[in-house]
Amino acid sequence: MRMLRRSVALATVGALLAGCGGGPGGGGGKISDGAVVLAVLNDQSGIYADLSGRGTIEVVRMAVADYQAKYGDKAVAEKIDVIAADHQNKPDVANSKAQELYDRQRADVIVDVPTSSAALAVATVAKNKKKVFLDVGAATTELEGKGCNKYTFHYGYNSYMLANGTATAVTRDGAKNWYVVYPDYAFGQDMERTFTAAVKNSGGTVVESDPTPFPNDNFSTFLLKAPDLKPKPQVVGTMQAGGDLVNFVKQYNEYKLRDQGIELAIGLMFLTDIHSLGVDALRGTRFTDYWYWNANPENRAWADRFQGKVGRRPTAAHAANYSAALQYLEAVQRGGTDNADAVVGQLEGRKVNDMFGRGGTIRAQDHLLIHDAYLAQVKSSGEVKEPWDYEKIIKTIPAAEAFQQPSAACRL
Amino acid sequence: MIISRLAGRPVLLAAGLVAAFVLPWSIYPPVAMDIACWALFAAAVDLLLGFTGLLSFGHAAFWGSAAYVSGLIALHTGLPFPVAVLGGALFAATLAAPIGYLSVRLRGIYFAMVTLAFAQMVYFIANQWRDLTGGENGLQGIPRELFGIDLSDPFFFYYAGLPFVLAGFLLAWRIVRSPFGRVLVSIRDNPARARALGYPVDRYKLLAFVLSAFLSGIAGGLFAISHGFASLQEVYWTTSGQAVIMVVLGGIGTLWGSAIGAALIVLLNDYLATAGFEEIGIVTGAIFIIVVLLFRVGIWGTARNLIAAHTRRREAATSPDPGAQPQQEDINTPAPQR
C-alpha cells in the first residue's frame, strides 16, 4: 500500500514535471525541436534576486519581442520560448539545473548565472552538452581564462574590469595611498590582486591590504585601524559584496572615516546596493559600473520600458542580459539555425553596438565581450532628482582599456 | 497470523525493488539518482540515530569527503567509477575512525556538537585546499565511465549506480538484524546496563560510527559521480541537517523510512524549484513541523503502526487469542523523544 501510494505520488509529480518541460516538439528543419528556447538560470530568491532575478526573465522577453518586431515574417525562429530556473547561488544546484534545462527542457541557450562558482559549473555542463551559455551575472575572469570553452561566452563585466577601473581612475585622481580590505575567498582574492596591481601601475601604493572572514558583519577592527596606518591612507577600498558590503559601508559611516579624510572606493556595487543603503551613506563613493539607466536618452527610453513591466529601474545586469539574449537571437537569424556550433561561429568576433554594448566586440580568442565601462560616483542627496537617480558618470573607460588582454590559459 | 506477517514482508520488499527500478521511468533520471543517494545517506544516519542513539550532526564530513575523493580518483586516474566510489567510501570510513574515537565518549547534544565541529573542520580544509578541491568553485568535470562504456546518459547511470545503493541498504539491514545490531539497540536504550553486561560500549559505538560513515561515503561518492561535480555544499553542515531531517520525516529507527524521507525532500525541492516557488525552506520547514508534532514516529513509522494496529484488530476479531504477541520489530523503534 505504501509503495502503491508512493509510486502514484511519484508518477503524478513526474507527469507534472514533464508537463512543465514542454517535451520534444515535432518540428524538423533548422530549428531544433521546432522552437528556440532561452533559459534564464539565476538567483530568484537570494541576495542577487534584486539585481537580476525575475527582472531578467522580463528583459529576455523584451529581447524576444524586439527580435520578432524587427524580423516579423522573416524571423528564422518562429516560435521562441523563455523559461527560467532558480540556482540559489549554489554551484551544485546550478550544475544539475543546467543539465535539466538543456536535456529535459530543451533549452538552446542559458543566460545570466550570477555567482562565479555556479557560472563555472554551468560552463562545464555547456561544454559537455555542446550547448550555448552566455554568462552575464558572474564576475570571475576564469570564465575567459582557465575555465573557458567553445560554447561559453562572458557578457557584461568581470572582476578585472571592476577592480582595474576603480583603482586606476581613483589613483590617477590623486589618491596615492590605499588601504584595501577584501573577503577571504576566491572572488575577494582575485579582486585584491587586480586592484593592487592597478594601484601600483598608476603610481600609487597599497599601504596595507587585509583579508576579512567571509561572510562577516563586524568590520570595526579593520576600520578603526585605517587612520593609524603609516602613511595614512587617503582611500579605503573594499572588495566586499552583497550583505557584507552593506555592513561595511554602515560601519564606515559610524566611525566617521570620511570626516577623517579617508574616502571610500568600492569594488563591486550595483544600483540596488545604493538603493538599499541610501545615497547619504555612500555620498561621493566612486566605483566602476558598466551601464547606467540614466546615462543617455537611449538608455533612459529602454529603462522606461523596463519600468513599465517591472515597476522599477533596471540595473546594469538587466541591460546586459537583454543585450545577450538579443545578440543570441540575431546570431540565430544570421546563421539560419539554432545549431550551437553555428551560433558560436556567428557570435565569435561579432561587433556589438546596441543600447548596452557600446564599442563592443565579442573577442574570438576568449569569448569575452569587451565594451565601454564607466567610472561612476554616488550622488549626494541634494543632486538626486527622481527615484533611482543615484549615479553620476564621471568618465568613460574605453573598451580597449576596460578589460584584460586574452589569457594564455584559455584554449577554446 | 505469523504466516500472514511473513508473507507481507516479501511483498513489501518486492514493491520497494520495483519502485526503485521504475523510478527513472516516472521521473527525471538525475533526480531519481539523487533520491537513491540521499536515501542511502539517510539510512546511514539512521543507523546511528535510530539504532545506536547517536545524533550525528557531522555526517556531511563523510558524504562530502567521499564525494571529493571519488571525484579526484575518477578525474585523475580515469579508473572506472565503482573503484572511485569504493575509494571514497573507504576514505570516509578511515576519516571516521579518529573522529568517532574522540566523539563516541560523549552523549546527546555534546556528541552532536563535537561531530558538527569536526565536520566544520573538514569543511574548512576543503575550502582552503583550493589546488586539490577547487575551493568554492568545486571539483568540476568528473567523468562517468565503466570499462570504456560511456555512462554520461543519466538514465543508464541510474542502473549502474543502483546496485551500490541496494548493496548499501542490504548491508545496513544486515547490521541492524545481526547480534551486533541488537547490542547497538541495547546500548541505545540503556548504555549502563549494556556496559554492566560486559559489552565494550564505546567500541561498539565506534564500529557503528565507522560503518555508518562507510555507507555515507558510498552515497556521497555516487552523488558526486552522478553530478560530475563535488562542491563545498557537500561538506557543509546543512547537508548533515538535511539527512537528519529525512530520517525524522521517514521515521527514526525504521531504515526504510529514510528512503521515503529522502524521496519526499528531493522531489519537493525539485518540484518547488521547477515551479518557480521562491521559499522552499518554508514548505520543507512546515512539513517538518507537522510531522514532528503529529507523527512523532515519522511517515513510515506511523504507517507501520497503523498497519500493525489494523492487523491486531482483525486478528482479535477472528481469533479471540488473549496472548497476541506485540510486533517483534517494535523493539527497533525508540521511545518518542521528550
* For chain A, domain boundaries: 25-157+296-373, 161-289
Instruction: Determine, for residues B274 and A116 on separate chains, whether the beta-carbon distance falls below 8 Å.
Output: no
Residues 70-89 of A with CB under 8 A from B: 84-86, 88
Q: Nearest CA of chain A to the CA of B100: how many Å?
A: 28
B15 in A contact zone (CB under 8 Å): yes
Q: Is the pLDDT higher at B26 or at A58?
A: A58
| Residues in chain B within 8 Å Cβ distance of A121 | 137-138, 140, 229, 231
Q: What is the pLDDT of residues B188-243, one digit of tens each?
A: 999 999 999 999 999 999 999 999 999 999 999 999 999 888 988 899 998 999 99
Chain A interface includes B152 (CB < 8 A): yes
Strands A235-238, A263-266: pairing kind: parallel
Closest partner residue to A17 (CB to CB) among B228, B271, B307 is: B271
Residue B92 in grid coordinates: 570516509
Residue B276 pLDDT grade (very low, low, confident, very high; cuts 50, 70, 90): low
- Give the Cα separation of B31 and B41 in Å (integer): 15
- Contact between residue A182 and residue A239 where contact means Cβ atoms under 8 Å apart: yes
- Check whether domain A161-289 has CATH 3.30.43.10, yes or no: no
A45 inside 8 A of chain B by CB: yes
- The three-state secondary structure class of B134 is coil
Chain A residues in contact with B136 (beta carbon < 8 A): 91, 116-117, 185-186
What integer pLDDT is reported at residue A340 of this predicted model?
A: 93
What local confidence, expressed as pLDDT, does residue A122 receive?
94
- At residue B40, the pLDDT reads 95
Q: How many residues does chain A have?
A: 412
List the beta strands (DSSP E) in B96-227.
139-140, 145-146, 149-150
User: Is the pLDDT reported for residue A26 higher than 50?
Assistant: no
Residue B331 in this model has a pLDDT that exceeds 60: no
Asked whether the beta carbons of B245 and B261 are under 8 A apart, the reply is: yes
| Residues in chain A within 8 Å Cβ distance of B271 | 13, 16-17
Whole-angstrom distance, CA of residue A318 vs CA of residue A51? 8
Give pLDDT, residue B338.
Answer: 40
Is B12 within 8 Å of A3 when comparing Cβ atoms?
Answer: yes
Q: How confident is the model at residue A343 (pLDDT cuts 50, 70, 90)?
A: very high
Sheet strand arrangement including A152-154: A80-86, A36-42, A109-112, A132-135, A152-154
Nearest CB neighbour to B278, from listed A13, A16, A45: A45
Mean per-residue pLDDT of chain B: 86
Q: What is the pLDDT of residue B178?
A: 93
Q: How many CB atoms lie within 10 A of CB A112?
A: 34
Interface probe, candidates A17, A58, A127, A131, chain B, greatest B C-beta count within 10 A: A17
User: For residue A267, what are the CA distances in angstroms to A162, A211, B136?
Assistant: 6, 14, 20
Look at residue A42 and give its three-state secondary structure. Answer: strand
Taking an 8 Å cut-off on Cβ atoms, the answer to whether A121 and B154 are in contact is: no
Burial letters A322-350, b for 16+ CB under 10 A, else e = bbbbbbbbbbbbebebbbbebbbebbbeb
Cα nearest neighbour of A125 on chain B: B141
- pLDDT tops 50 at residue A139: yes
Scan for cell 516538439, then name that residue: A25
Q: How far is A187 from chain B (nearest CA, A)?
A: 10
d(CA B314, CA A370) in angstroms, rounded, equals 77
Average pLDDT taken over every residue of chain A = 88
- Tallying the residues shown for chain B, one arrives at 338
Which among A84, A91, A96 has the least Cβ separation from residue B138?
Answer: A91
Question: Nearest-CA neighbor of A175 among A255, A265, A260?
Answer: A265
Most A CBs within 10 Å: which of B142, B158, B231, as the mutation test of the A interface? B231
Q: Which of B128, B274, B284, B302 should we substitute to test contact with A (largest number of A Cβ atoms within 10 Å)?
A: B274
User: Taking chain B, what is the end-to-end CA distance rounded to the nearest angstrom?
Assistant: 34
Is B260 near chain A, with CB under 8 Å?
yes
User: Which residue segments constitute the domains of chain B, with CATH numbers given?
Assistant: 27-332 (1.10.3470)
DSSP string covering A238-258: E---HHHHHHHHHHHHHTTTT
Query: What is the tens place of the pLDDT at every residue in A241-293?
Result: 877 898 999 999 999 999 999 999 998 888 999 998 999 999 889 999 999 99
Say what the ipTM of the complex is: 0.71
A138, A119 Cβ separation under 8 angstroms: yes
Q: Do B138 and A92 touch (CB under 8 A)?
A: yes
What is the grid cell recorded at A189? 582574492
The CA dihedral of B78, B82, B87, B93, to the nearest 10 degrees, is: 160
B67, B224 Cβ separation under 8 angstroms: yes
Q: Would you say residue B326 has pLDDT above 80?
A: no
Which of A137-151, A350-364, B9-23, B102-116 is the least confident region?
B9-23
Q: If you write DSSP's letter for every residue of B106-126 in order, what string do you get?
A: S-HHHHHHHHHHHHHHHHHHH
The pLDDT value given to residue A1: 43
Q: Are the CB atoms for A233 and A257 separated by under 8 Å?
A: no
In this structure, what are the phi and psi dihedrals at residue A177, rounded to the nearest 5 degrees?
-105, 125
Phi (first) and psi of residue A396, to 5 degrees: -95, 130
Alpha carbon distance B208, A373 (integer Å): 59
Tell me the nearest-neighbour CA distance from B159 into chain A, angstroms: 18
CB-nearest to B263 from A6, A88, A128 is: A6
**Could you say which of 3.10.129.10, 3.40.50.300, 3.30.1490.190, 3.40.50.2300 is the CATH number of the domain covering A25-157+296-373?**
3.40.50.2300
Task: List residues bridging with A212 in a β-sheet.
Answer: A183
